């Protein structure tokens, strides 16, 4: 499973509890996207969670732009 390259957010594990209180394993997945990011004057493809994208911790590379 993918992990955010900025904040290292990844999957979390726990129990899903039904109405009758039976427990089964559950996995919560982070909302991680594969995006092209500006890094050191160039572009690099990396996994970034949507909270890092919205907060401006990374700058997306413009698709089709000349370097």
More confident residue, 7 or 66: 7
Q: What is the pLDDT of residue 64?
A: 66
Q: How many domains does the chain have?
A: 1
Contact (CB, 8 A) for 58 and 50: no
Q: Which residue range is the domain that position 16 belongs to?
A: 1-66
State yes or no: pLDDT of 14 exceeds 70. yes
Q: What is the pLDDT of residue 41?
A: 86
Among 30, 22, 25, 29, smallest CA distance to 53 is for 30
At 17-50, the pLDDT tens digits run: 999 999 999 999 999 999 999 988 899 999 999 9
CATH number where 14 lies: 2.30.170.40
């Amino acid at each position: 499973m993918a992990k955010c390259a900025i904040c290292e957010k990844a999957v979390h594990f726990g129990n899903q509890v039904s109405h009758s209180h039976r427990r089964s394993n559950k996995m919560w997945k982070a909302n991680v996207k594969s995006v092209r990011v500006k890094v050191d004057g160039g572009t690099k493809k990396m996994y970034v969670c949507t909270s890092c994208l919205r907060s401006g911790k990374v700058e997306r590379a413009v698709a089709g732009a000349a370097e």
